[in-house]
Amino acid sequence: MLNDDGVFFFPSASLAYASHGSFSGWSGTTVPILQSEDSPIPITADEGSWLASVNSLTMPVSIFATGYLVDVLGRKKLLLLSAVPLLAWWLIVAFADSFGMLLAGRIVGSLGGGIVLTVIPMYLGEIADTDIRGTSVAIHSVLLQGGSLFSYCIGPYVSVTTAAFICCSLPVFFVITFIWMPESPYFFLIRNREQEAVKSLTRLKGQLDPQELDSELVEMRKTLRRKQETKGKLKDVLVVPVHRRTLLLMVGFIVLRMSSGSVAFSAYTTQIFERSGSGLDADISSIVLVSVQLLASLGASLIIDRIGRRTLCIVSFVLCAVCLVAEGTYFYLDELQGDVDAALDWVPLAAMIGYHFSYDIGAGAVLYPLIGEIYHLSVKAVATSINTTIVSLYGFFLKKMFQVVSDSVGAYWSFWGFAVLNLCATMYTYFLMPETKGKTFVQINEEMDARVNRRTAKVPTHTEKSALG
């Protein structure tokens, strides 16, 4: 169990997600304002799509750098460093007078986002007890949605400059609270700083008796021993069978999870409601929707260690598909008839609420706990960087293509296409994804080893055994 101070470590670390969430949510509320007739900085629809998506294109720069620095500088220092570009982004927005400045600001802010998305799953996964590890990492979704909600509640009702100055408070508040938090004991052991590892463990778990402390350290050393037996480089991820299979398994899951549509919908929330033809206010609908996402993320943090990652995902994807079929049908009828009956004005918001609730309580909350758990510690930093890069680049593709497809053939085809992909994700999760709930890192690694050994149907050589730990 965590001590009384330790209970605060998880939300404090996850405040970085709130800062990143406000950065991500900015485009959903502000791009429509910039495209309006009375825009303070007039932009075109194409320029708006670049502001919504360019952060996903440039984020890999910091993701790869972080993957190599996380075991050198430490988790804590990198997280504190992430606040610098996120704060710089809001200051650039506050003083921007052109599309170019806004685009440059989005690129700068994305560097902080890459650090946050790469380091926090690792940090929280390492400092949490096994029985609450999923909850501690899933808390990131709560803070991420909280940051987005912050932007959605402010953006439509104050000037772009005022909103930027208000949002500056989030990265500042993160630094003020997190600077007092401990570094991961795993990092100290990696750097052969055992006394500091003991101090970190004591802060996280309270005063331990000698036997409990020895037990914790033995488990950590056992995990680290496996790390030290391989180099932990990109080559290991691609050459060692268990690492390669785990990477491919997660890449497939990430692509299908993102293909469920959430990334595109979040970037164009207000525009979706404006284009739906519904009589409901688009800004109010967006705030209601993000509020529901926040509640769903909170619910996920409470149940993820009870129900399990795999079951949550399966249920989540099925419900998402149903909601997207309904959303697509509404847009189809709107285009076919020119104006859907006012009695159905509730459908776009209700279907989107159902979709986002289903996604955020399941598939949306599961990814980063899985990334933090499923990889062997020896390649976790490199593999996490690869996964986060895929999330970023594929996210850019989805954000750009959602607008292109919707403008070309109709938004309903986008919704129906995402519905089909949700069903594909359901089948993938059911047949291929392992359950990691309640398992130690060693148990998870051994299970992945066993999967590879069964697949190859041969006994590993001495060299392979050494590489696998």
pLDDT, tens digit (0-9, with 9 covering 90-100), for 105-116 = 999 999 998 898
pLDDT at 324 over 90: yes
Question: Which of 18-27, 88-97, 175-184 tops mean pLDDT?
Answer: 88-97
DSSP secondary structure letter of residue 255: H
Q: What's the rounded mean pLDDT across residues 443-464?
A: 64
Of 165-169, 170-174, 248-252, 445-449, give the lowest mean pLDDT range: 445-449
Q: How far apart are CA 340 and CA 285, in angstroms?
A: 18
What is the arithmetic mean of pLDDT over 124-148? 70
Q: What percent of the chain has pLDDT over 70?
A: 86
Check whether domain 6-181+230-468 has CATH 1.10.240.10, yes or no: no
Round to the nearest angstrom and report the end-to-end CA distance of the chain: 29
Task: Scan for tokens 């304002």, then name that residue.
Answer: 33
Q: What pLDDT is recorded for position 250?
A: 93
Question: Are the C-beta atoms of residues 398 and 263 closer than 8 Å to each other?
Answer: yes
Q: How confident is the model at residue 146 (pLDDT cuts 50, 70, 90)?
A: confident
pLDDT, mean of residues 72-94 = 93
Query: HSE on the CB side for 226, CA within 13 Å?
Result: 24
Mean pLDDT of the chain: 81
The predicted model gives 230-234 an average pLDDT of: 63
**CA-CA distances (angstroms) from residue 212 to 205, 206, 440?**
10, 11, 16
Tens digits of residue pLDDT in 335-364: 777 676 777 778 888 898 899 899 988 888
Domain map (residue ranges) of the chain? 6-181+230-468
Residue 456, number of CB atoms within 10 A of its CB: 12
Distant-in-sequence contacts of 322-325, Cβ < 8 A, 24+ apart:
322/354, 322/419, 323/351, 323/352, 323/354, 323/355, 323/358, 324/261, 324/351, 324/355, 324/415, 324/416, 324/418, 324/419, 324/422, 325/415, 325/416, 325/419
